[in-house]
Chain A
Amino acid sequence: MNILLIVIVTAVLQYFGPWWTVVLAPFLILLWRPATTSFRSFATGFLAIALLWLAYGLYLHIRSEGAMSNRIAEIFSLPNGILLLAVTSFVGGLLGGFAALSGYFTKKAMP
């Protein structure tokens, strides 16, 4: 449930705002509805953002037949756009994961 919430809120925030809004929803939603463990919190945020970036990136990659992503991959010495997509979602996942973890720990730290 949290994953879905994060995905939806982040998609809206990212569409209108700058890239770093990506950390807001995982933090706030885990602060509001913390998971049972810190690991689960991290995983929630990680999966939500990684999935979101993966899905949207994959859509843009397929729609353009990799016209841009394959070239950018080459600039970064990666073999193809799909691998670049994996890197992209991993970076997004890290951001989401640590933001969610922060939300969880902050909740715990609150009286």
Chain B
Amino acid sequence: MKFFKAILSLLIVAGLVYVLNRSWGPVPALGSFLSPFTGFWQNGENPVPDKKQIVLKVSGLKDDVIVRFDDTGVPHIFAKNDYDLFFAQGYITAKDRLWQMELQVRAASGRLSEVLGPATLTLDQKSRRLGMGYGAEANLKLSMSDKRSEKALTGYTAGVNAYIGQLAPRDLPVEYKLLGYRPEVWKPINTMYMLEQMTLMLAGRSNDLSISNVLKKYGQEVVNNLFPDYPMLQESPIIPAGTKWDFPKLPIPVKNPLKTSDSIAIQVSNTKPFLANSHVLPPAEHKPEGIGSNNWAVGAEKSITGYPILANDPHLELTIPSIWYQVQLHTPEMNVYGVSLPGIPSVIIGFNQNVAWGVTNVDADVFDLYKIKFKDSTHTQYWHDNQWKTTRKREELIYVKGQKEPVKEDIVYTHHGPVTDTDKPESGTPNLAIRWIGHEPGNSFLTFYELNKAKSYGDYRKALTYYVGPAQNFIFADNGKNIAITVNGKFPLKYKDQGKFLLDGTDRMDDWQGWIPAEQNPFVKNPPRGFVSSANQSSTDPTYPYYINWLFAPSERGIRINERLTAMSKVNADSLRMLQNDNFSVMARTILPKLLSVLRNSALSPTQKAAEITLSDWKYQNNPESIPAAIFETWMPLLQESIWNDEFNSDNQAMKYPSRDRTMYMILNQPNEKWFDNIKTSQKETMPDVVLSSFKASLDSLQKWHGKMSPDWQWFNVKGTEIRHLSRSLKPFNAPLIKTGGGAGIVNAITKRNGPSWRMVVELGPVPKAYGIYPGGQSGNPGSPYYMNLLKKWENGELNELIFLSSPDQQHPRMTASGITFKKN
């Protein structure tokens, strides 16, 4: 009996330890998770940050590095050479954002399932099939062969690993504790994966299939009519119309004159479930409007300071922690401040003593699909240029948590790229190759590295030549009072509209035929209008000799920015901040008077009449409290859908819809077009019918979700902007509800999930004065006082002054006493 009791109680202890030492489904191993000595309790930080000086001995450094923190937690790093500098940047970034860095690399490289299990397998397969690793490996080779990038990558890598190496289990970011894994060793290729991920996000999709389906169904004439290569209604291109292209043009490739469109097949279904083992990519998601950006720079004569002022706000998915990380980097050769991307050394958008720069996305056509003709089902040979050519195979092994054997896939590569898409999903085998800029070997990192050090316009132009993709509108201003913008990236030299439709993988003349020379990329320096700007709209007017794309982001933001900048004088940082927060709707100004004239001639219920009056009194401002803004924003998508759904929405073939610009042109100028008729009804609908029915539907929809017209209809509430934690599932880590105006097509481009992920304004001059903010904070730790400390100011449209120190011992009232000194060993 004595023994029995002893053994039984010991078994209970062992059982308890066993149960608490392992995870159960989504529940983490509770023993270490709950223990205050190792668990999440350790991740709560003192809201008044400790003011302490930490000294760390590090081997491998050539000199000492000093890091000081300001009162928003931004690190200011002072080093004597590049290696040490990037070591410290890696260490400090990991200290604040380790889980984010690693998660993003895992997502890019298709290795999420290794730690998260089968739930993320399809995501991983997508990354693998797209050849993210293929691109990253090619880029790494080039990057390691250049001294500058090699130093930066090895330094940064050593820094991240030095941080990981000293982490005790209790210090792990709370996400690791919740999800039950540990950070792994950082590698230089991770930076390449981060760059690939940016290329994927900004230049990783195409309309080729959906527009080819329109062509197949409605013919060339309808495509030309509804999908023009330049906006029909309104545009204000990035490079001002009329800019001269004074360079010797390269001969432009020609389309094979024998080509018919017969080779183009209709994609039979994209509603079929994605076959996990078919090697076929899932149907591409459309890039949501709201992923884009604004930037502009006003020249010295327009500014009150007598020097240029530059502004940039990149619009990306708003997450917390922010995709950006503020940092100042200082060596004897450079002194730069701005935002970096965790995982990539250097500053991506920022300024130094002499220059400032920023970026917006170009939307170039650099993702093309080629129809491949294989000899047989082994896919070892394919027909190209009148001969059978041999494919290569790339083995992808995806390890999945909880499964012994990795999921293995052999991806077939032609000279175009990986064959992973299909226009016949029911066959289950891919027959479309992807030619994508993300596979083009390059060392785009050097562009940022050289911009960080740039002193002049010449340095800027030289830095841009290293860039491959994702193509960006690089805006620039310097102390020499120059302003400039370059539509920059490695652009394939194509015949007009090459890649608008599915391309023929057997025809040599459909291959990319070389590149637009970097110096012939569209650019403008010190234009007569006194400012430069971009908002993802058409790069140039139709006189530019080369094809970049047939469709760019809608023009409204660009139009508004250019109107405002033309009208403004004596500009200062604050007036540009106001422009970043501008809520004016060019769309409403363009179309609403016409729509209201229809409503006034129609019989309306009292509610509808009230809404019509509200809209009539509206000044086209998408302010947070505006009810008419909410009505208009609900109405517009419904109006477009009710015009096009009957002809373009189909269960068995994904078809591209005509653009907003084309739709508004038709409403304003072609009210008798047949497209207004709903072909699914026996009556013949006209433009006013569609306007009226969609108006009623939008009010019904608002009523359904928000009750009768009341303050609940305020735009911020209807829009419901939310900033989610990067996991997208740990709700308590999300930002609280926020109240903002703006919207898609508005300069203040805050939609439900996307928006200005960083707002920056830089006044150049003898001492640059800069301002910036992102929604979130420096720290990725939800238990840190720096997790969301900048959110409120961002929500209010305010900016923080960015503290730009000139030396490690410069005094500044906002610098704190805390810091880290890395001592060489």
Contact = CB atoms under 8 A, between A and B. Distances in A.
B47 A64 contact: yes
Contact of A108 (B2, B731, B787): B2
A9 to B, nearest CB: 13
Nearest to A88: B34
Interface of B: 2-3, 5-6, 8-10, 12-13, 16-17, 20-21, 30-32, 34-47, 169, 174, 178, 730-733, 781-785, 787
A104 B426 CA distance: 69
Contact of B2 (A20, A56, A69, A109): A109
Contacts of B730: 75
Contacts of B34: 53, 87-88, 91-92
B4 to A, nearest CB: 9
B776 to A, nearest CB: 15
A108 B5 contact: yes
A103 B783 CA distance: 38
Contacts of A71: 732-733, 782-783
A4 interface: no
A66 B783 CA distance: 8
Given A61-B44, A68-B174, A19 B5 contact: no
Contacts, number: 125
B42 A60 contact: yes
B316 to A, nearest CB: 24
A54 to B, nearest CB: 9
B35 A14 contact: yes
**Secondary structure class of chain A's binding surface, majority of residues:** helix
A93 to B, nearest CB: 11
Contact of B13 (A67, A70, A95): A95
Contact of B36 (A23, A53, A102): A53
A83 interface: no
- Residue of B17, B47, B169, B785 contacting most chain A CB atoms (<10 Å): B17
Given A68-B44, A69-B40, A102 B6 contact: yes
A94 interface: yes
A56 B783 contact: no
Contacts of A63: 44, 46
A105 B785 CA distance: 48
A108 B3 CA distance: 8
A68 B8 CA distance: 37
Interface of A: 14-15, 18-20, 22-23, 27, 38, 53, 56-57, 60-61, 63-72, 74-75, 87-88, 91-92, 94-95, 98-99, 101-102, 105-106, 108-109
22 contacts: A15-B37, A18-B169, A19-B37, A19-B38, A23-B13, A23-B17, A38-B5, A60-B36, A60-B42, A60-B44, A64-B45, A64-B47, A67-B47, A68-B43, A74-B732, A88-B41, A91-B20, A94-B16, A95-B17, A98-B9, A102-B10, A109-B2
Given A14-B35, A88-B39, 15 more contacts: A19-B21, A19-B31, A22-B35, A56-B36, A60-B44, A63-B46, A64-B45, A67-B783, A68-B781, A71-B732, A74-B731, A91-B34, A95-B20, A98-B16, A105-B8
B30 A91 contact: yes
Given A18-B38, A56-B37, A65 B47 contact: yes
A83 to B, nearest CB: 13
B36 A64 contact: no
B782 to A, nearest CB: 6
A106 B6 contact: yes
Contacts of B16: 94-95, 98
A99 B13 CA distance: 6
Contacts of A53: 34-36
Given A56-B36, A105-B9, A108-B6, A67 B782 contact: yes
A68 B13 contact: no
Question: Which of B10, B13, B39, B46 has most A Cβ within 10 Å?
Answer: B13
Contacts of B733: 71
B784 A57 contact: no
A64 B2 contact: no
